[in-house]
Chain A
Amino acid sequence: MLPRRQRPPASGPWGPRPAVLLLAPLLLALQGVAAAPAGAGGPEDSPGLQDAEFPSGLLQQAARAALHFFNFRAGSPSALRVLAAVLEGRATVNPKKGCQVDLVFTTDHYNPEVGEEHLGKCSARVFFRNQKPRPAINVTCTRLIEKNKRQEEDYLLYKHMKQLKTPLDVISIPDSHGHIDPSLRPIWDLAFLGSSYVMWEKTTQFLHYYMAQISSVNQWKTSDDAIDFDYTVLLHEFSTQEIIPCRIHLVWYPGKPLKVNYHCQELQTPEEASGTEEGSAVAPTELNNF
């Protein structure tokens, strides 16, 4: 996301405000490792615990996971959010079980309108199970868009999608030059919504994902009320730099929970000899209060 305006003062003269990290005495007893202050230069996301197993950027990791989950659960392609900045956070580690991160972060519109100045704020509790994906997440955010407006935008998107000529004449979105035809923009947003579910499920404390490209639209059905969308997306996993193709099938109707089915190619992490990380899940969910 591209902030086109001045950020609210979260930055000091030497960079982003260092995160406040507190560690429970119990934690120290469990770990047997002395807590160390944040690294030189004050990177805002370096954890207080300098431990070989503690990945750099744990707070950012947690924020991203929380946002993927939030976006999926909100089920609204016109109200997608991206991470703006992590304000504060703390991590507690249980070496046997995993690590829990409590944090506060700000968000921005995925699609900023020129001149708009909206910064939503979220607080989240994220629990990463040791090396396993699908972190448990509790997240609440302040409203970025008024509920009525959001519903209206969703419905407009839905109507626009219903009018698209099928079969869709697209090879990839965006094209190699990053261009998305404005008429196809809703497809990208809806695909991102579905991908959010997949990316949440696949995130661990070490792995995080971005949606790089829709490589094919396999099916786009709007004959019934709902949008029935079957597509292949390329996810970019940052720490391994790998590109993971995922086939995603989603069903969406404005205001209703998103239904997602997916199947991704295995991620060959360099550390594992022959690990397979496949996922396939149906996701009927209810909208929680947020």
Chain B
Amino acid sequence: MTSKPANQTRSLMPSPAIKGEVQDFLVLCRRMKPLLGTLYLLGILAPEGLGYDGSLAQTRRGVLEETVSPWRNLDTYSYTKYHPMEEIYQWMVQITEKYTGVVTQHFLGMTYETRPMYYLKISQPSANYKKIIWMDCGIHAREWIAPAFCQWFVKEILQNYKDNPRIGRLLRNLDFYVLPVLNIDGYIYTWTTDRLWRKSRSSHNNGTCFGTDLNRNFNVAWCSIGASKDCHHLTFCGTGPVSEPETKAVSSFVESKKESIVCFLTMHSYGQLILTPYGYTKNKSSNHEELIQVGQKAANALKKKHGTNYRVGSSADILYTTSGSSRDWARDIGIPFSYTFELRDNGTYGFILPASQIQATCEETMEAVLSVLDDVYEKYWDSDSAVKMTLTAMVLGLLVSFMSVL
């Protein structure tokens, strides 16, 4: 019997309001689904152990097959296919179980349509004080390559942290918090109804229009420019800053951890861009030069992989003006390295990037992200540079004393 780690149960925190309790119940039901899958499979594999004989298992299979998705082995999970939300939920549970001790799954909040939002925390137990890298994917529903990348990223880290010194080093002092799908309702909608849907699925104007552009809903220069107050538009900023439950879930959490977060990466498509703050003004952040330098290095690393060209610059300079974006908000609450990645392609397929390109896109993007993380790591923990600084200080100190003696 697979048992869920204690903190996952703890994360279903009951709230005093009845609505909260109903939500918790729904969450519990949804969470039970993969568990039911486990039980079902065990029912087939070990009928004696659970007191069922073969014939009963057959009957059960017939009944359960209609309500539970077929069991999926993590070893056969394809990272080069697009997955519907149910499979991503299952994948999160499975990856947490396979890499117990390094990965934990955490509840972030509820979507508008009362679905649970989960992030994965990848953390190697150690006495070190860790800084945090935040990565979210799929804030815009139709950008399917982004959630695909988040899953790829998690897989790469977990499969390689033991043998790959580059990744191993990062995990010594960094924790990764990965939100594979931020706009879950919208993502599901692109699978069931409209492949090119962008926004969330909140209801407005008495149900006459739907969806807020979650990347215009953050509390930074909210709705001042590059966004619309009309709920029909695809850049609708919402009814107020952080009006949407998804935005609220992310910003509350990130705000609570902001002292520890050094890097905020938000993954989108398309356009092949690495964007720095800001979108709401042409003014530059205090560390703009550094952000461009690190970004350009990442773009170079990306290009080495498959020859893909990415451009680097502030959003207002090379894309268009926007307000209320998560990247700008993250920078303005003090997170130093804040980037938007716009993944492949350049418009040939746009949002509907062929699955045949997932692997190459993920491989090159991985190089870019690792490059950023290396730079971040070296900035804060490079022992070589620490030693150099100490030696330099010592020499200077000696020189000063020597000069004062003369």
A residues neighboring B (CB under 8 Å)? 1-7, 11, 14-16, 39-41, 43-46, 55-57, 82-83, 85, 110, 172, 174, 176-180, 210, 212-213, 234, 236, 238-243, 268, 270
Contacts and interface: CB of A to CB of B under 8 A. Distances in A.
A110 B82 CA distance: 24
A179 B318 contact: no
Contacts of B355: 177-179
Interface in B214-248: 227-228, 230, 232-235
B196 interface: yes
A41 B230 contact: no
5 contacts: A177-B81, A213-B195, A241-B213, A268-B233, A270-B228
A240 B226 CA distance: 8
Nearest to A179: B354
A39 to B, nearest CB: 5
B311 A270 contact: no
Contacts of A55: 320
Interface string B108-139: 00000000000000000000000000000000
B311 A213 contact: no
Contacts of B352: 174, 176-178, 212-213
B319 interface: yes
B317 A2 contact: no
B296 interface: yes
A79 B337 CA distance: 43
A156 B336 CA distance: 56
B130 to A, nearest CB: 31
Contact of B196 (A3, A110, A212, A238): A212
Nearest to A5: B307
A82 B228 CA distance: 31
Nearest to B318: A43
A46 B311 CA distance: 12
A167 B316 CA distance: 47
B366 interface: no
A239 B356 CA distance: 28
Contact of B227 (A40, A45, A110, A270): A270
A152 to B, nearest CB: 24
Given A7-B307, A15-B311, A40 B284 contact: yes
Interface of B: 81-82, 190-191, 195-196, 198, 213, 227-228, 230, 232-235, 282, 284, 288-289, 292, 296, 299, 303, 306-309, 311-314, 316-320, 344-357, 360
A178 B349 contact: yes
B296 A15 contact: yes
Contacts of A82: 346-348
Please classify the interface of chain B as helix (H, G, I), strand (E, B), loop, or mixed, using the class held by over half of its residues: loop
A174 B354 contact: yes
A15 B312 contact: yes
B83 to A, nearest CB: 11
Contact of B235 (A16, A44, A270): A270
Given A3-B307, A210-B350, A39 B232 contact: no
A46 B357 CA distance: 30
Contacts of A7: 303, 307, 309
A241 B235 contact: yes
A234 B289 contact: no
Contacts of B198: 241
Contacts of A2: 306, 308, 344-345, 348, 357, 360
A106 to B, nearest CB: 11
A243 B141 CA distance: 14
Contacts of B320: 55-56, 238-239
B294 to A, nearest CB: 12
Contacts of B232: 268
Contact of B349 (A44, A46, A174): A174
B353 A178 contact: yes
A212 B347 CA distance: 8
B289 A236 contact: no
Given A2-B308, A177-B352, 19 more contacts: A1-B348, A2-B345, A2-B348, A15-B312, A39-B317, A40-B288, A57-B318, A176-B82, A176-B190, A177-B355, A178-B353, A178-B354, A178-B355, A236-B350, A239-B320, A242-B233, A243-B196, A268-B232, A270-B230
Nearest to B270: A210
Nearest to A241: B234
A45 B351 contact: no
Contacts of B308: 2-3
Contacts of B313: 39, 41, 43
Please provide the 3 A-B residue pairs with the shortest distance between their CB atoms, ordered closest to farther: A178-B354, A270-B228, A210-B347
Nearest to A82: B348
A249 B279 CA distance: 39
Contact of B318 (A4, A45, A268): A45
B195 A176 contact: yes
Contacts of B350: 210, 212, 236
A44 B309 CA distance: 13
Most buried by A among B296, B306, B349: B349
Contact of A43 (B213, B230, B306, B317): B317
Contacts of A213: 195-196, 352
A239 B271 CA distance: 12
Contacts of A43: 311, 313, 317-318
A18 to B, nearest CB: 11
Contacts of B196: 212-213, 234, 236, 243
